[in-house]
Amino acid sequence: MGLTTEQKEKRRQDPHVQYIKDRICNKDTGKPYVFISYKSDDWEPVLQGVVYKLVKDYGLNVYFDGDFDNSSAGWLKQFQENMDIESCKGVLVFRSPQYMTSYATVLELMYSQSGLATDNDEPLPLVCINLAGSEYPDTDTKETTGLGDSTHNINANPERECFSQIVNTLHEQGRIGWKPFNRFKKEQAVGVLSQRLCRKIAEAVLQSYRNGIQEKDPQNINSIVNTIKTECGEDVFEQGVPDASSEPTTSPAPQQTPAAVMQTPDNLAPAAPASYTPPVAEGYTYTLFGQTYHAGSREQGKLMYDTFAALVQRFPDRIPALTRRTSVARAEDVTNANTREAKPPYFRICRSFPVNGQNYLVGISYGFEAKLAEIRGMLKLCGVNPAEFVLIQGGASSTANTTPASVSSSPSAPERAATGPAASPADGGTVFRYTLWGTLCTADTLANLMHDVFDRIAERYPDKVPQMAADNSLSAVARRDDVDNSRLPANKLNYFKACRLHTVAGQEYYVSTRYGREQGIAQLEKMLQVCEGRSDALEILSAPQKSVHNRSN
């Protein structure tokens, strides 16, 4: 499709688009930003409905192709140059039927994930927003995408060569399977790329992203902001702009003359979007080991610091194990701590804790939900029930990732939990709620669900873990040595592109999370089958809402 001349002019003159263009970042501005990847047909819901709010209300730095008045002849070079730069911290993907069946947008997606856009050969972070109407019909799939068609495109050959190169790269990395890869070779031989295959390639790339892609609702700006912070870091937001988890300042602003009032497309001063729900004025109140703590509305990191300090006091000998969490590291393993250049990036904001002669850093550069997940992970690694941490008030999701300490492993616990709604008001349908051996738990992502359940199974049945690793039908668990030295069947080895290291009885194992939801849960059930001969100890009570697409072969 594409825009008509009239539609292009409408977009060019749109005040929301002008507002974004006036603040656009690129490879030359020196500011950290996210790359906006979208289909031009979707410009209104993307630019007006989401990006404008992110830029105006939250100060997000963005790059997008704002040069609408000129030819797109330089598009191929332009998007690569603005992804290749260190300033590009991630990609905001606006998924729609048009996006998934356009070779141009899918090429942007593939390039960002191929490792070609970064110095360390790692994929760029992704945040995927699922636009309304993204359910796919069964009828559009044999139409061509126009890849390689030089009738009206002077860049057809370079685009086709680039697309082919990146498909080959992603296939070698195990992110595009043999079936779509072979279809691509057949279609390439006759000089076409069908919309059907283009969509399947895009789906494969999204599904193989790290621990699985979580699609965001374009109406939930708060959730989008938190996810951007978790995936891309907080530096992509301008300082001094209220974020999705901090209460705006309540001090009165000084009087301004009308001439000093900033004019926006709304003809109003910037205001928080309708979905913005600031925490209560008192900040955060929470308990740990029976002690009550408080943190200010802008002190989310204090929740993590207090948890770590409490664990140091009670379990100093277990602290080295906490480095398995991304938020904890030995000081010498972090470079440029407390700066924008920190590596790993979670330590852009951090605090040092001396423990038994070793300095440990606790990084807090996460969204709020991810902070709670890190707290739960710390507790579990010290052998503490995550229910010991209870968030009483504060935050837009005050209890989304906490479980009352009164929920125990009594036989009736699953039945009591199951009588509740599929998605409780506290979690808003954004977390997994499940019981394992009768204890009610939550996880914010499928990856954390899999790692958390594995940890508990391994704690109860450490002698069974070698059997899990040796079972090639259980593709989620393998000995580290077997993965690092490629001593596994190729079909199992491919799963460990996304994994985390676990230590059980002195032996190191990788646990893969490279699955869709149903497949990941099935892997957990197989673990229980190995250990108990049955899998009913795990019961999924509710899960985050996800989009359902019609799939065809």
The CATH number given to whatever domain includes residue 99 is 3.40.50.10140
240 inside domain: no
Q: Are 467 and 507 in contact (CB under 8 A)?
A: no
What are the pLDDT digits (tens) for 432-473? 888 887 677 788 788 889 998 999 899 889 999 999 999 988
250 inside domain: no
The reply to whether 227 and 295 lie within a common domain is no
pLDDT reading at 179 higher than 60: yes
Report the C-alpha gap between 435 and 184 in whole angstroms: 43
The reply to whether 509 and 484 lie within a common domain is yes
The reply to whether 387 and 463 lie within a common domain is no
Among 47-61, 245-259, 274-288, 311-325, the minimum mean pLDDT is found in: 245-259
Q: Which pLDDT belongs to residue 313?
A: 92
Q: Which domain holds residue 176?
A: 5-232
More confident site: 547 or 443: 443
171 inside domain: yes
Domain count, the chain: 3
266 inside domain: no
47 inside domain: yes
Q: How confident is the model at residue 356 (pLDDT cuts 50, 70, 90)?
A: very high
The reply to whether 153 and 223 lie within a common domain is yes
Per the prediction, the chain carries an average pLDDT of: 79
Q: Are 206 and 106 in contact (CB under 8 A)?
A: no
Q: How confident is the model at residue 394 (pLDDT cuts 50, 70, 90)?
A: low
The reply to whether 10 and 151 lie within a common domain is yes
Report the C-alpha gap between 53 and 186 in whole angstroms: 43
Question: Pick from 389, 406, 423: which residue ends a domain?
Answer: 406
The reply to whether 297 and 420 lie within a common domain is no
Report the C-alpha gap between 503 and 388 in whole angstroms: 23
Q: Which pLDDT belongs to residue 298?
A: 66
Does the reported pTM lie above 0.85?
Answer: no
268 inside domain: no
Mapped onto helix, strand or coil, the DSSP state of residue 124 is: coil
Among 117-126, 280-289, 414-423, 439-448, the minimum mean pLDDT is found in: 414-423
Question: Pick from 388, 406, 424: which residue ends a domain?
Answer: 406
The reply to whether 425 and 399 lie within a common domain is no
The reply to whether 357 and 425 lie within a common domain is no
Q: Which pLDDT belongs to residue 536?
A: 83
Among 168-182, 275-289, 366-380, the minimum mean pLDDT is found in: 275-289
Q: Which pLDDT belongs to residue 548?
A: 39
The reply to whether 92 and 29 lie within a common domain is yes
The reply to whether 450 and 525 lie within a common domain is yes
Report the C-alpha gap between 483 and 485 in whole angstroms: 5
Question: What value does the mean pLDDT take over residues 227-232?
Answer: 89
Q: Which pLDDT belongs to residue 211?
A: 52
The reply to whether 73 and 202 lie within a common domain is yes
Handedness of CA 442, 205, 131, 88 (dihedral sign): positive
The reply to whether 401 and 419 lie within a common domain is no
How many CB atoms are closer than 10 A to CB 405? 14
Q: Which pLDDT belongs to residue 72?
A: 46
pLDDT reading at 248 higher than 90: no
Report the C-alpha gap between 421 and 233 in whole angstroms: 34
Q: Which pLDDT belongs to residue 275?
A: 36
DSSP-derived secondary structure for 223-242: HHHHHHHHHH-GGGBPTTS-
Q: Which amino acid is at 290?
A: G
pLDDT reading at 230 higher than 50: yes
pLDDT reading at 243 higher than 70: no
246 inside domain: no
Question: Pick from 406, 421, 447: which residue ends a domain?
Answer: 406
